[in-house]
Chains A and B, each alone.
Chain A
């Protein structure tokens, strides 16, 4: 690993100033489970590494049924799924947080870091997309918001400019008769990168028979995590039946434009996008019905 300078600011202002004023490349260290590997393997370089885990608002994890969830960008995954109310209110998020690497990884890795690493296969991003999460970005010019589905722009790239930090991920309060789920496919049962992943959120009619609204996010089937807009819109007003989920899966399959690599063939990934969309919709509906 090439050497670098290190800073551990205790305020957002200090951090953004450090990043904006840095000579050469400055990198943000949240959980470090991606960054440290990338620096070691020379996939990324850094002249300055800024540890943001000492910044209070980035470690914030606050939930209320009125205000929803504020998830600091550096909050490690384990704190999410261990939080009883969050697991109930945003099950897709908890599903994803529980399978990011193993326990040792979840002790460090954060959802914010997963977003900023911007891998097409990131497990938490489809869940954020499905849940309609907003990304609050802090920079020299102040704060701005970006919807989760617009955050990643290409493999390993995102909307952050020099000096900007992803500060908080904001989730609207859960609405009644809604439910969500995230599932991925991996060859093993743990410690793999998703071959494909799908996150689904649904809001049902009060009688539980009809899907009023739905959002589907997909992983590892496109250059970035994908909001399956067509499938999501098509679902609105459809009856909550296996047939519907199957059909939505076909839309998801169409939305997918995967590649072949050592983790799976394009053909297999496209197929999985359909299967996982169907399965997560069924689970989301089941959860919506409580």
Chain B
């Protein structure tokens, strides 16, 4: 067994160090080592998006990132979305719009939606559906998720003004 590797990284804007085996995914270390269980394992091969985190500025499936690759990178998870007890507008809009049912895909959608709106503050419905197509939801039929992201976009824009 190859020995563990020491990794220095940043998670939700705080410096973090951990030891991991090279074979461990970022998702595994986030959940089992750092106990950030917001990112969920839905498929473990990049097809459901439930483990989405923002990795050095871009959304990735954390199940398809080796934890050792986090060396020197920045990681943002759903746990970092709310700001000192205040829900992020996307989280607020998901709640008010009943955009979740079982809730297991929700963290991935929230993080992907944040990346989407950071990148494109005024998306069309198609932009949203295209941008969130790597995130599967089996409960909602997506309708209320898309509407919540539209509402969040409006709110974020009015806040920006």
Check A-B contact in the complex, CB < 8 A: yes
Chain A interface residues (CB < 8 Å from chain B): 1-6, 8, 29, 32-33, 36-37, 39-41, 49, 51, 53, 76, 78, 101-105, 107-108, 189-191
Sort A-B residue pairs by CB-CB distance and give the 10 closest, nearest first.
A102-B134, A190-B133, A6-B22, A107-B58, A1-B23, A37-B45, A104-B134, A104-B61, A5-B2, A102-B133
Q: Give the CA-CA distance A101 to B63 in the complex, in Å.
A: 15
Contacts of A78 in B (CB 8 A): 58
B95 on interface, CB distance cutoff 8 Å: no
Q: Give the CA-CA distance A4 to B20 in the complex, in Å.
A: 12
B29-37, B66-74, B84-92: which lies at the interface: B66-74
Nearest residue (CB) in B for A102 is: B134
Q: Which residue of the partner chain, among B59, B116, B130, B133, contacts A107 with CB atoms under 8 Å?
A: B59
Contacts of A49 in B (CB 8 A): 22, 66
CB distance from A229 to the nearest CB of B (A): 35
Nearest residue (CB) in B for A31 is: B64
Q: Could you tell me if A2 and B23 are in contact, using CB atoms closer than 8 angstroms?
A: yes
Q: Could you tell me if A107 and B2 are in contact, using CB atoms closer than 8 angstroms?
A: no
CB distance from A83 to the nearest CB of B (A): 15
Interface residue count for B (Cβ, 8 Å)? 33
Q: Give 7 pairs: A residue, B residue, CB < 8 Å, sorted on A.
A: A3-B22, A5-B2, A32-B66, A37-B46, A102-B134, A103-B116, A108-B64
B131 on interface, CB distance cutoff 8 Å: yes
Q: Could you tell me if B59 and A36 are in contact, using CB atoms closer than 8 angstroms?
A: no
Q: Give the CA-CA distance A102 to B46 in the complex, in Å.
A: 9
CB distance from A253 to the nearest CB of B (A): 30
Q: Give the CA-CA distance A137 to B134 in the complex, in Å.
A: 32
Contacts of A51 in B (CB 8 A): 66, 68-69
Contacts of B2 in A (CB 8 A): 3-6
Most buried by A among B21, B60, B64, B134: B64
Q: Which residue of the partner chain, among B1, B23, B69, B134, contacts A101 with CB atoms under 8 Å?
A: B134
CB distance from A152 to the nearest CB of B (A): 22
B1-53 interface with A by 8 A CB criterion: 1-2, 5, 21-23, 25, 44-47, 49, 52
Contacts of B52 in A (CB 8 A): 104
Most buried by A among B2, B61, B112: B61
Q: Give the CA-CA distance A53 to B66 in the complex, in Å.
A: 13
Contacts of A105 in B (CB 8 A): 46, 61, 64, 134
Q: Could you tell me if B130 and A190 are in contact, using CB atoms closer than 8 angstroms?
A: yes
Chain B contact surface mostly:
mixed
Nearest residue (CB) in B for A108 is: B60
B156 on interface, CB distance cutoff 8 Å: no
Most buried by B among A1, A4, A6, A107: A107
Q: Give the CA-CA distance A36 to B115 in the complex, in Å.
A: 23
Q: Give the CA-CA distance A53 to B69 in the complex, in Å.
A: 9
Q: Could you tell me if B134 and A40 are in contact, using CB atoms closer than 8 angstroms?
A: no
Q: Give the CA-CA distance A39 to B44 in the complex, in Å.
A: 12
Nearest residue (CB) in B for A82 is: B119
CB distance from B68 to the nearest CB of A (A): 5
Nearest residue (CB) in A for B47 is: A191
Q: Give the CA-CA distance A14 to B112 in the complex, in Å.
A: 36
Most buried by A among B25, B66, B68, B135: B66
CB distance from B9 to the nearest CB of A (A): 13
Q: Give the CA-CA distance A8 to B67 in the complex, in Å.
A: 13
Most buried by A among B2, B130, B131, B133: B133
Q: Could you tell me if A104 and B112 are in contact, using CB atoms closer than 8 angstroms?
A: yes
Q: Could you tell me if A107 and B23 are in contact, using CB atoms closer than 8 angstroms?
A: no
A8-B68, A102-B134 known, 9 other contacts, Cβ within 8 Å = A6-B5, A36-B25, A51-B66, A51-B68, A101-B134, A102-B133, A103-B116, A107-B58, A191-B133
Q: Give the CA-CA distance A266 to B26 in the complex, in Å.
A: 39
B104 on interface, CB distance cutoff 8 Å: no
Q: Which residue of the partner chain, among B49, B55, B71, B133, contacts A8 with CB atoms under 8 Å?
A: B71
Contacts of B45 in A (CB 8 A): 37, 40-41
